Structure 1
Amino acid sequence: MPEAQTNSGSKLSICVIPQNKDLTEAEFAALTYVQVKKVGNVGERGITTNIVTYDTWDTAVALKGKGISNAGDPEVEMARDLADPGQIAMRAAGQPDVQDAYAFKVERPSGEVEYLRGLVTGPRTPGGRNEDFVLHVYSLALNQVPVEVPAP
């Protein structure tokens, strides 16, 4: 495997059946996914943990500990394609009245896989100038730690 990788050739897919509980690697792998075409960017994801503090009278330095963690809220940006089955699934999952979480699979050309699970909001359509693409942007509110699987 190369020393460093780019995102070129990677794929994002969504499972159209809601997944409202934490999944194991095997449970993620057993799902059926639909590829979302024309994805240009998938934002930052992974664990961010709050640092909580407590001031006491007898010290000049606050006590610190780890609080609750967030698995990420990445934005997913794509060139709009109203006929693509994956984008149709994203639009359906993103509707305001849909309260279910969905599973996602990110596949790398190297064979590595990353599984995500969370709520979907959107799409938002950024404006633009005459040479900008018409885009849809979704937010994923991840509610499970991403599961990374090395290449076989």
Structure 2
Amino acid sequence: MSGVETVAGTDISISASIPATFTAAGYTALVDWAEIGEITDGGSHGRKYNEVTHTPIKRRGTQKFKGSFNEGNKTLQLAIDDADPGQEILKIALDSDEDFSFKVTYQGGAIDYFQAKVMSFEKAAAGVDSILSATVELSLTTSKAGVGIIEVPAP
């Protein structure tokens, strides 16, 4: 077996609770996760470093260093379901300045946990042969200690 997997069966959940510690155990202790239903595209997320350059005039060559990092943004595409508990929490989070907890559980059992602010929830009514949908923008945050995405390998 190659170790690769499809994203079929991936679950993205939200919680209004913040873990006591920004560790796998802290996130696992949260009990009020709500699956966000009807997601058609889970987007991408991951740490990205800014490039810092230094070009001494004598040597002319540019030296490159890693500077600050950002956990980035994650864009979700979903069909709107007003009865979905996860989508209800997304809408609450949209009107809040607070971070919310997110859990992405992949097909093989690996999990990513992170904090994010919900920055947008934009409805789309494209045409007669389309589903009423929304684009949701998450802005992933980092704790004061520099902890961002927590990756838990599959069991």
**TM-score normalised by L of structure 1:** 0.88
Task: Give the residue type in structure 1 aligned to 2:73.
Answer: D
2:103 to 99, 102, 105: 105
Per the alignment, residue 16 of structure 1 pairs with 16
Determine the structure 1 residue equivalent to 2:145: none
Q: 1:104 touches 1:117 (CA, 8 Å); kept in 2?
A: yes
Q: Give the structure 1 partner of residue 115 of structure 2.
A: 117
Runs of 4+ in 1 over 4 A off after TM superposition: none
Q: Would the aligned equivalents of 2:20 and 2:26 in 1 still touch at CA under 8 Å?
A: no
For 2:77, the equivalent position in structure 1 comes to 77
Residue type at the aligned position of 1:64: K
Secondary structure class of the residue paired with 1:43: coil
The 1:93/1:53 distance shift into structure 2, 3 A limit, reads: same
1:146 maps to 149
In the alignment, the residues of structure 2 paired with residue 66 and residue 109 of structure 1 have an alpha-carbon distance, to the nearest angstrom, of: 33
The answer for unaligned runs of 5 or more in structure 1 is none
**Structure 2 stretches lacking a partner, 5+ long:** 143-147
1:37-63 CA deviation, whole Å, 9 max, x = no partner? 111112111111111112322121122
TM-score, normalised by the number of residues in structure 2 = 0.87
| Structure 1 CA distance for aligned equivalents of residues 57 and 117 of structure 2 | 43
1:20, 1:100 within 8 Å by CA — same for their partners in 2? no
| % identical equivalent positions | 27
48-57 or 82-91: bigger deviation: 48-57
Aligned residues: 149
Aligned Cα RMSD in Å?
1.9
Rounded to whole Å, the distance in 2 between the matches of 1:57 and 1:20 is 49
- Aligned residue number for residue 31 of structure 1: 30
Is the CA contact 1:16–1:34 (under 8 Å) kept in the aligned structure 2? no
